[in-house]
Amino acid sequence: MNESIDSSNEVSIRADARGTGAPGYFWRELTESFRHPDFWALSSWLDIIVRARKSRLGIFWLMAPAVVYVFGLGTFFMSMRGLRAGASSGEYYAHVALGAMMFRTLMSTIIGSANVFVGSRAFIMDGHMRLTDYLLQALAKAFFDFCMYVPVVAFALWLAGDINPLGLLLAVPTLFLLYVNALWMAAVFAVIGARLPDFGQLLGNVSIFMFLLTPIIWYPEMMPPESIRGQLMRFNPFFHFVEMFRNPILGEPVEPGTYWYVGIMTVGGLTLATFLYRRYARYVPLWI
């Protein structure tokens, strides 16, 4: 009797861990992944621990990119280009810190998801067919990177001093909207990355250009809307996410077109992710 109970429990656990049938139902599988977060949440956290355990500073070493971007690259660019009229060095550091945190979160999700199916080949070929677990794994790693930016951003905001409290409250729903978009980006780029193994390396190279195109270490008014460079900047999705998150905190206005851009991209992106996953997720085990 006990053996039959243990056997049924083992079958139940395997069914939860491996999913049901061939992948393709994006929202159903995503719901199951949220109901069973033990795999993607724990594995992403262990990946962070493994990366930091051989360092003397441990997990605090993961804050190094944030410090370099904000106070290293920011100081160098500030001394080279100067501040805009009426801005202090603290406000500039806050400008760089908030922008870099948003850019890093999205770009980490995109690059990580492009390689997530290929990197998890052993698990997928072993029968773990709920591919949404790996999408959430990429998002969880990006979230941990986001958390490493929080202390640096908090210090930069303290240096700035004049922060809009309402903007801090608005940052919460904006952050939620950011991760909704990160979800559909992860689904789209993961499927493409499974079909094209070099796609992740291409995105890594493109990320440098996107960082320079996004107003993180410089101000948006340096690119007037009527100029070609200004139009190219506003076509960049990272620009709109950064502006929508950063400007309310710093007490600056957000362009109305930004809300339209993000709203249309959110609806269109979720629709695209649902279609691509439904159509091509079943081929991922063959591609990898």
Identify the residue with better confidence: 172 or 90.
Answer: 172
pLDDT band at residue 242 under the 50/70/90 scheme: very high
Please state, for a pLDDT cut of 90, what percent of the chain lies above it: 22
Q: Is residue 13 part of a domain?
A: no
Crossing angle for the helix pair 132-160 and 26-35, to the nearest 10 degrees:
70
Please check the confidence at residue 156 and state whether its pLDDT lies above 80.
yes
pLDDT band at residue 64 under the 50/70/90 scheme: confident
Please check the confidence at residue 86 and state whether its pLDDT lies above 70.
no
Question: Cα–Cα–Cα angle for 162, 156, 215, nearest 5°?
Answer: 90
Q: Is residue 282 part of a domain?
A: yes
Q: Is residue 161 part of a domain?
A: yes
**What local confidence, expressed as pLDDT, does residue 59 receive?**
67
Contact 167, 249 (CB under 8 A): yes
Q: Average pLDDT, stretch 263-270?
A: 94
**What local confidence, expressed as pLDDT, does residue 287 receive?**
86
Please check the confidence at residue 264 and state whether its pLDDT lies above 90.
yes
**What local confidence, expressed as pLDDT, does residue 178 receive?**
92
Q: How many domains does the chain have?
A: 1
Q: Is residue 9 part of a domain?
A: no
Please state, for a pLDDT cut of 70, what percent of the chain lies above it: 84
In the chain the first and final C-alpha atoms are separated, in Å, by: 42
Domain that holds residue 178: 22-287
Query: Which residue is it, tokens 């080279």?
Result: 80
Q: Is residue 153 part of a domain?
A: yes
Q: Is residue 133 part of a domain?
A: yes
Q: Is residue 64 part of a domain?
A: yes
Q: Is residue 17 part of a domain?
A: no
12-21, 111-120, 222-231: the lowest-pLDDT one: 12-21
